[in-house]
């Protein structure tokens, strides 16, 4: 992480991991491939007042509160204390894992309760129970988030909780590869000229409904859309069909010699007449 003179995060550099690190992590988490399982995260409100009071009296909890206050350089709010109890008793995080969670969020510059709760829930859904697993997951977690951020032209800040929810849906619920998500981000920038998460979400939601699983599926949909557009343009450029013949048009039309008719009227009336009368005759 690189910080400017004011202490704000200005750049992130991803380094190649230690080749021995992957082996160590694999030995701890098991060599079996990770299976996607839908995990329901327990609600935060599941702790009663009595449970919270009892937990707050435990030495390990008091120690966690002290550690958190040292990281934040201030006393914890009631919401933050409730979060710690939630992580400990409901999500069943160890004290070491909670301490690393605090350290991780502080290092990202995001110490708000909602952000910390979101990260903890993601770890819970991923089956993370140790600090080593959390460190390995955080590396991929950060890389995907900031790769998407970079594609949308966002730099110099961390994802907000609502942005994390969008990206989690694309990665986890829809199961899209990062390449498909980046394609949606590129199309978003071309159309809106700004990092619009809602616009990108609409694109990815439609691709999900259409069964997109790889980039070639997007090419197929683009080709079908282009062919449909071409057909519509060709249909609009065709000449309008001739009016259908009717009974009136089927009669042979008479051709009048207007000068001869005018002369006949003059002779019949023995005087002058207006040309308008002749024209009226032709319309009768």
20 has a pLDDT exceeding 50: no
Domain boundary (69, 101, 129) is at 129
272 has a pLDDT exceeding 60: no
Q: Does a structural domain hold residue 64?
A: yes
Q: Does a structural domain hold residue 202?
A: yes
184-237 residue pLDDT tens: 999 999 999 999 999 999 999 999 999 999 999 999 999 999 999 888 888 877
Residues 224 and 145 in one domain: yes
- Give me the number of domains the chain comprises: 2
Instruction: Dig out the tokens for 169 from the structure.
Output: 């849906």
Q: Does a structural domain hold residue 17?
A: no
For position 111, what pLDDT does the model report? 84
Measured CA to CA, the distance from residue 129 to residue 151 in angstroms comes to 32
Q: In this structure, are residues 212 and 204 in contact, taking their beta carbons and an 8 Å threshold? A: no
Residues 123 and 149 in one domain: no
For position 251, what pLDDT does the model report? 55
pLDDT band for position 131 (cuts 50, 70, 90): very high
> Among all chains, which residue has been given the structure tokens 């992590």?
25
70-111 residue pLDDT tens: 999 999 998 899 899 999 989 999 999 999 999 988 887 778
Q: In this structure, are residues 204 and 176 in contact, taking their beta carbons and an 8 Å threshold? A: yes
For position 243, what pLDDT does the model report? 58
Domain boundary (76, 100, 129) is at 129
Per the rule left: phi > 0, alpha: psi between -120 and 50, beta: everything else, 175 is: left
Question: Which residues partner with 11 through β-bridges?
Answer: 2
Q: What is the pTM of this model?
A: 0.48
Domain that holds residue 66: 44-129
For position 124, what pLDDT does the model report? 93
Q: Does a structural domain hold residue 252?
A: no
pLDDT band for position 25 (cuts 50, 70, 90): very low
pLDDT band for position 31 (cuts 50, 70, 90): very low
Residues 125 and 168 in one domain: no
| Crossing angle (nearest 10°) for helices 197-209 and 161-168 | 20
Q: Identify the DSSP state of 239.
A: P
151-190 residue pLDDT tens: 999 988 878 888 988 998 998 889 999 999 999 999 999 9
Residues 166 and 227 in one domain: yes
């Amino acid at each position: 992480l690189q910080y400017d003179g004011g202490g704000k995060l200005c750049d992130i550099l991803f380094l190649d991991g230690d080749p021995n690190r992957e082996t160590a992590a694999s030995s701890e988490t098991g060599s079996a491939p990770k299976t996607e399982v839908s995990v329901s995260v327990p609600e935060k409100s599941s702790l009663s007042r009595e449970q919270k009071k009892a937990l707050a009296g435990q030495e390990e909890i008091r120690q966690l509160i002290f550690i958190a206050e040292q990281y934040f350089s201030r006393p914890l709010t009631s919401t933050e204390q409730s979060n710690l109890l939630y992580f400990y008793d409901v999500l069943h995080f160890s004290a070491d894992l909670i301490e690393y969670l605090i350290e991780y969020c502080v290092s990202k510059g995001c110490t708000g309760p909602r952000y910390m709760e979101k990260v903890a829930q993601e770890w819970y859904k991923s089956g993370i129970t140790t600090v080593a697993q959390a460190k390995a997951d955080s590396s991929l977690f950060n890389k995907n988030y900031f790769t998407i951020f970079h594609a949308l032209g966002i730099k110099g800040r961390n994802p907000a909780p609502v942005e994390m929810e969008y990206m989690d849906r694309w990665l986890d619920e829809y199961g899209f590869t990062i390449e498909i998500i980046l394609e949606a981000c590129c199309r978003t920038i071309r159309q809106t000229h700004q990092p619009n998460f809602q616009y990108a979400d609409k694109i990815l939601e439609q691709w999900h409904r259409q069964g997109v699983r790889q980039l070639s599926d997007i090419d197929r949909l683009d080709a079908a859309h282009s062919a449909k557009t071409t057909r519509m343009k060709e249909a609009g450029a065709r000449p309008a069909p001739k009016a259908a013949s009717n009974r009136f048009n089927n009669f042979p039309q008479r051709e009048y010699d207007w000068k001869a008719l005018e002369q006949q009227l003059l002779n019949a009336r023995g005087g002058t007449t207006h040309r308008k009368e002749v024209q009226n005759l032709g319309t009768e």
